[in-house]
Structure 1
Amino acid sequence: MSIAPSESVVFKPWASAPGEATTDRIQSVRLSLVNLPLHAPISDAKVLTGRQKPLTEIAFLFAEIRTEGGHEGLGFSYSKRAGGPAIYAHAKEIAPELIGEDPSDTGRLWSKLVWAGASMGRSGVAVQGIAALDIALWDLKARRAGLPLAKLLGAHRDSVDVYNTSGGYLSMPIKEVLENVDLARARGVGGIKLKVGSPDPSVDLKRVEAVREHLGDDVPLMVDANQQWDRITATRVGRVLENFNLTWIEEPLDAYDAEGHAALAATLDTPIATGEMLTSVGEHAALIEAGSSDFVQPDAPRVGGITPFLRIAALADHKGRALAPHFVMEIHLHLSAAYPRTAWVEHFEWLEPMFNERLELKDGRMIIPNRAGLGLSLSEQAAAWTTESAVFGSGA
């Protein structure tokens, strides 16, 4: 349609009137400390070198947030061996800051919670206490939108490559490891990660050789030294491991040795993965800027939740790194699906008893569930394992 020069035209800022924006307010926050027992003690290289005791249970902090409009969100953080009660105690002190707030303001609320406990710093216990609350806010936002969290964030894929770790610990004899490999593969897992870092590297090499022979050449295989090599050992063992076509070597050095990891990444053809132990955006930024790894491995509960995780992912993407988040597949499936580059998710079946839902595996990949938010609800077993709880706001 043409408009005559003499006609006056009124331009409107939108084609049709927008609907009224929906806001809501946080009515209550429930926190729970839950101790998850493992079926049997497990050991990695940190145990064999005498730095830690075998892992027998994991402490979880759950946060359940409810709004005046009846919307709910579920989030969690965790700690292994020590720290669970500390995370719970810190979360109890800062959780009241959320009452009356708009749950959509995830970035502002994360900053508010950090400042509420400013003297505790911006890493470690302080942010791990915040993480459960932040993840619950993101879950609530996605549930209210009626979308899986991955879709709310902007998914790049509907499924993610998945590898199993829980079947390859050093406390397991190689026969049991090979049986676990078959079970994981039959369940639909794509890759296998094997723990290494024994005091005698020849033991590690024999185990890697056995698993690679059992899998064949084409199945993705990773190894994880859990920070127990020095630079010389990591270089020498890494050169031998080149023969096994590994997808990556994980945590060959101390988690904070950015320079050493960068040198190793430049020396070896096998990709380097690290980052799971870091607890802040700044720490991850230092490793990313130094070129310390090919696979970045942030852990959302450890770095303070989804809000800081997304900042780390943006830095990693900018530098062209692949992503392989640590543990808690129930959260990291969504975050890996929303990452634009190569991404993996780590399979641990340990947390399954705490939820009523299960994640689907097919052809080596984990499927984004067709449920809103994280797609999780707490089971009766989680309630039975709860040792402490507290409620803030209405219903307290």
Structure 2
Amino acid sequence: MRVTGYRTLTTLHRWGRPIGDVNGSVASGVTAVPVVLVDTDAGLTGVGLGSHDGLEAVFPAILGEDPRAVVGLYDRMLATVFKAGHTGSVFGAIGAFDMALWDLKAKAADQPLWRMLGARDRVVPAYASGLDGPLDDDELLRLQASFADRGFGAVKLKGGLDLAGDLRRLELVRGVYAASGVTPRLMLDANEAWSRKEAVAYVQRLEEHVDLAWIEEPVRRWDADGHAMIGRAVRAAIATGENLTGLEQFRPLIQAGAVDVVQTGSVWGITHFLRVAMLAHAFDLLVSPVGYNANPLAHAAAAVPNHIATEVQDLAAPVGITVDQEVMEGSIVLGDRPGLGLTVDEAGIAALTESADWGSASGPHVRPGSAGRRLLAPRPPVCAPMPLASPCD
């Protein structure tokens, strides 16, 4: 079996709500989902989800190769862009191809990827998320009620700019789960919005009222000293890593004792996750992949010993993609379809005319000029005792 070519498609994910974080939002709730299809002379096609940028630069490394040599081909792709560098969109292209190659390898073996990777159990622990930054209280409650109905016991909210608002939202969400008889573990994701001192002050104030399982990306992704300082100053664990590309970017954080929960982005591929997971395991650290459409890293997460939970951002799949998995009892339950379990309706996707948004100037992928520079900004009051009213009575 040899790789003969690749094709690209772009489908949509309809979230049914505005999505975003402290950096920005997508009011339409409709985002683009890039799909990469890798064809072979055996008639099998591998499916990868991720960037279309940079594909041409790295494809020569896999053209004509046996896709079952996926780990070797991953390194071959890295070597192909040795001089130009493999960060950013190029690493995303490598990840998309890598995902498609793993899909092919498992399809050739007629096994689901989780089984081929050696997992004993198809049930992958997960936590509820939702990119809920722009939601009002009622919208947030409806979203989290849908997750609570699926048995989740851990929840991550977006936040970082409104202390009273974050506390109110955390308490509201805790109440949703309490109604189902669950005391949820709560996390807050700041998406690199703070400076070091802002982060310490903010989280310490939060922890006067609520226990946090972890605080995510409190400062810039590469700031090992900053993450370590914050970790020493707060009770919550520090989670970070979703935007790091390559083991060399994780090493300073791990060596500095700056991270407790090591994260990877799904769009960086299967091999990257497996390698980061083993690096983390060597230091007795937990690993948690961030969510992405169809939860493709759940297959790999099932096979590593230090996985704690995979982020689930939505309960629906992108348009034209059927996923062989269920979300139930707070977990992703993987199916038996060979490969990643993704079926792509190419004709249906090609017929789409609806526009999507994500990288606009007001979206979450554009860093605001005020990020990390709010030390003197006024903050709304925090009232006690809990629970808070809206915001203070």
How does the TM-score come out when normalised to structure 1? Answer: 0.80
Corresponding residue for 1:72? 45
Higher helix share: 1
Amino acid at match of 2:113: L
Question: Within the alignment, does 1:206 sit opposite 2:161 as a pair?
Answer: no
Helix, strand or coil at the partner of 1:353: coil
CA contact (8 A) 1:110 1:307 kept: yes
**Matches of 1:135 and 1:176 in 2, distance apart?**
34
Does the aligned pair in 2 maintain the 1:139–1:373 contact within 8 Å? Answer: yes
The offset of 1:153, in angstroms, is 1.5
> How has the CA–CA distance of structure 1 residues 181 and 57 changed in structure 2, closer, same or farther, with 3 Å as cutoff?
closer
Question: Which digits, 9 at most, give the CA deviation of each residue in 1:84-108, with x for residues without a partner?
Answer: xxx43x2034324423211122122
Q: State the Cα deviation string for residues 208-267 of structure 1 (Å, max 9, x = none).
A: 222223333722222111111222222122223334232211112222211111122223
Asked whether the 8 Å contact 1:276–1:297 carries over to 2, the reply is: yes
**Deviates most, 173-182 or 351-360:** 351-360
What does residue range 300-311 of structure 1 map to in structure 2 within 5 Å? 300-302=266-268, 305-311=269-275
What per-residue deviation string (whole Å, max 9, x for no partner) do you get for residues 140-174 of structure 1?
111111222122112153212212211x6221111
Q: Secondary structure at the match of 2:297?
A: helix
3-state SS in 2 of match to 1:189: coil
Q: Tell whether 2:5 aligns with 1:25.
A: no
Aligned twin of 2:377:
none
User: How many angstroms apart in 2 are the aligned matches of 1:95 and 1:375?
Assistant: 24
CA distance in 2, matches of 1:211, 1:155: 33
**Aligned counterpart, 2:23:** 46
Q: Which runs of 5+ in 2 are unaligned?
A: 355-393
Q: Which amino acid aligns with 2:297?
A: H
CA distance in 2, matches of 1:226, 1:142: 34
CA distance in 2, matches of 1:297, 1:101: 31
SS at 1:223's partner residue?
Answer: strand
Determine the structure 2 residue equivalent to 1:175: 138
Greater C-alpha radius of gyration? 1
**Cα deviations by residue, 1:49-71 (Å, 9 ceiling, x for unpaired):** xxx87685544332222322333
Q: Judging changes above 3 Å, is the alpha-carbon distance between structure 1 residues 119 and 35 closer, same or farther for their aligned structure 2 residues?
A: farther
In the other structure, the counterpart of 2:235 is 269
Residue pairs, 1:331-346, within 5 angstroms: 331-346=296-311
51, 67, 73: which one aligns with 1:103: 67
Match of 2:360 in 1: none
Structure 1 residue 283, shift from structure 2 partner: 0.9
CA spacing shift, 1:214–1:100, aligned 2, 3 Å: closer
The CA deviation at 1:119 is 4.0
Contact between 1:285 and 1:312, CA under 8 Å: does it hold in 2? no
Does the aligned pair in 1 maintain the 2:324–2:334 contact within 8 Å? Answer: no
Q: Within 2, Cα distance between the matches of 1:325 and 1:124?
A: 18
SS in 1 for 2:322: coil
Q: How does 1:126-141 map to 2 (within 5 A)?
A: 126-141=90-105
Secondary structure in structure 1 of the residue aligned to 2:338? coil
Greater Cα shift, 253-262 or 152-161? 152-161
Partner of 2:35: 62
State how far apart, in whole Å, the 2-side matches of 1:145 and 1:231 are.
Answer: 49
- Paired with 1:342 and 1:319, the residues of 2 have a C-alpha distance of 13
Instruction: Say if 1:386 and 1:114 are closer, same or farther in 2 by CA, change over 3 A.
Output: farther
Which SS does the other structure have where 2:65 is aligned? Answer: coil
* 8 Å contact from structure 1 (residues 352, 358) kept in 2: no
Supply the distance in 2 between the matched residues of 1:210 and 1:264 (Cα, whole angstroms).
Answer: 26
Amino acid at match of 2:175: E
Structure 2 counterpart SS, 1:377: strand
Partner residue, 2:205: 240
- Pick from 55, 58, 67 the counterpart of residue 91 of structure 1: 55
Mapping for residues 297-336 of structure 1, pairs under 5 Å: 297-302=263-268, 305-328=269-292, 329-336=294-301
> Residues 39 and 282 of structure 1: is their aligned pair in 2 closer, same or farther, counting only changes over 3 Å?
same
Matched residues, number: 347
Distance 1:293 1:384 in 2: 44
8 Å CA contact retained: 1:197, 1:224: yes
| Identical-pair percentage | 32
| Number of the residue aligned with 1:6 | none
For 2:183 and 2:196, how far apart are their aligned partners in 1?
A: 29
Matches of 2:197 and 2:17 in 1, distance apart? 34
1:57–1:290 CA distance, 2 compared to 1 (3 A): farther
After TM superposition, the structure 1 stretch with the greater mean CA deviation from structure 2, 353-362 or 306-315, is: 353-362
Contact 1:225/1:251, CA 8 A, preserved across alignment:
yes
Alpha carbons of 1:191 and 1:230: their partners in 2 closer, same or farther (altered >3 Å)?
A: same
Aligned to 1:295: 261
Residue range with higher mean Cα deviation, 248-257 or 153-162:
153-162
Q: Residues 218 and 56 from structure 1, CA distance in 2 versus in 1: closer, same or farther, beyond 3 angstroms?
A: closer
Distance 1:233 1:124 in 2: 27
Computed over aligned residues only, the root mean square deviation of the Cα atoms, in angstroms, reads 2.5
Matched, 1:249 2:211: no
CA distance in 2, matches of 1:342, 1:43: 26
Asked if the contact 2:185–2:212 (Cα under 8 Å) also holds between the matched residues in 1, the reply is yes
| TM-score normalized by the length of structure 2 | 0.80
Q: Which moved more, 1:130-139 or 1:327-336?
A: 327-336
Deviation at 1:354, TM superposition (A): 3.6
Distance 2:163 2:200 in 1: 12
Give me the whole-angstrom Cα distance separating, in 1, the residues matched to 2:46 and 2:252: 32
Q: SS of 1:69's equivalent?
A: coil
SS at match of 2:249: helix
- C-alpha separation between the residues in 2 aligned to 1:382 and 1:371? 21
Change (3 A) 1:206 1:368: same
Name the aligned partner's letter for residue 221 of structure 1.
Answer: L
